[in-house]
Amino acid sequence: MDDAQITHSVSSELKPLIARHKMFDAWFAVLGLLAMLVALITLTALIVDLAVQGAPRLSWDFFTSFPSRFPDKAGILSAWVGTTVVMLVTAASAVPLGVAAGIYLEEYATKNWITGIIEINITNLAGVPSIVYGLMALGLFVYQFNLGQSVLSAGLTLGLLILPMVIIATREAIRAIPSLIREAAYALGATKWQTVQHHILPYSTGGILTGVIIAMSRAIGESAPVITIGALTFIAFLPTSPIQPEPPYLSFQWLFDPYTVMPIQMFNWTSRPQAAFHLNAAAAGLVLMAMTLLMNGLAIYIRYRFRKRIKW
């Protein structure tokens, strides 16, 4: 049998196999498209239903009024302010620590069984139910450190919740940087920290911020941990202002004040039998979605600015 016959025989055997694989690929693409459409339609239906119910309640008074036992007078002032300050504490506690831990594990830590155990535990902690963090924070922050049922306790609790996600995202973003960049920096005499500071971090900022966006989006909607550590379901006052008219003009008392957050306020309204409170909860849900989108949009803008400054 000559070469032409062998080629023809092999080709005749491969053609049915290739055609069958192409058919499987086409079916898989169709199933994936259908799954995506089902998810999008479901999400769109939920958002539209939420908007239809909650949009009529959105007004200036709704944003500037405290909760009330009268649904037409109830507002979300204390809830959205509480959510904002808790998210500030969460970001301040989790993002620097998570990024630093990711840099150390990926660039500095020796690859041995100890770092292997640490990496496994970080991955496992990313999937731990949020209520577990709430119970741990109740014993550690509220009772052991005597921080009480405060904004600081809530922020640190949610910071622990998203910390593994920030670490994992940081490591993945750093791993995506080509090793040639490191080798070129070392060849020019740069130290390890100079390489990380001037090359690794700027190039990986986009991936790190993407992980931070996902983590903060999870934190802003969590209710189980903050309920566990004592978030109030009804609060008619705001935390202490950080700016004071008298010296030293700056106060940190707001960190130790009681608080409530948007998910808790929504839970309080949906648990009541009156239909008007359910409309308030729908309106609060729209505001929470808007806050999440605003936070994500800000992070995406910062990521865009960082990428624009990078010159490959």
- Per CATH, domain 59-309 is 1.10.3720.10: yes
* DSSP string for 261-299: -HHHHHHHHHTSS-HHHHHHHHHHHHHHHHHHHHHHHHH
With 0-12 CB in 10 A as exposed, 13-18 as middle and 19+ as buried, what is 292? Answer: middle
Query: DSSP assignment of 68-109, as one string?
Result: -SSTTT---HHHHHHHHHHHHHHHHHHHHHHHHHHHIIIIIS
pLDDT in tens, the chain (312 residues): 555 555 555 566 667 777 777 788 889 889 989 999 999 999 888 888 888 888 888 888 888 888 888 888 888 888 888 888 999 999 999 999 999 999 998 888 888 888 888 888 888 888 888 888 888 888 888 888 888 888 889 899 999 999 999 999 999 888 888 888 888 888 888 888 888 888 888 888 888 888 888 888 888 888 888 888 877 777 877 888 888 777 777 888 888 888 888 888 888 888 888 888 888 888 888 888 888 888 778 777 877 777 776 655
* Contacts with 68 (C-beta within 8 Å, 6 or more apart), sequence order: 74, 75
Q: How far apart are CA 282 and CA 256, in angstroms?
A: 30
* Phi, psi of 287, deg, nearest 5: -65, -40
Does pTM surpass 0.85?
Answer: no
Task: Give CA–CA dist 75/86, Å, rounded.
Answer: 19
What is the Cα–Cα distance from 193 to 190, expressed in whole angstroms? 8
Distance CA 207, CA 42 (A): 29
Q: CA nearest 165: which of 263, 96, 94? A: 94
Residues 249, 146, 251: CA angle, nearest 5 degrees: 5
Domain ranges of the chain: 3-55, 59-309
Q: How far apart are CA 264 and CA 76, in angstroms?
A: 11
| DSSP helix/strand/coil, 205 | helix
Answer for the pair 251, 242: CB distance below 8 angstroms, yes or no.
yes
Residues paired with 243 in a beta bridge: 250
Q: Do the Cβ atoms of 133 and 160 come closer than 8 Å?
A: yes
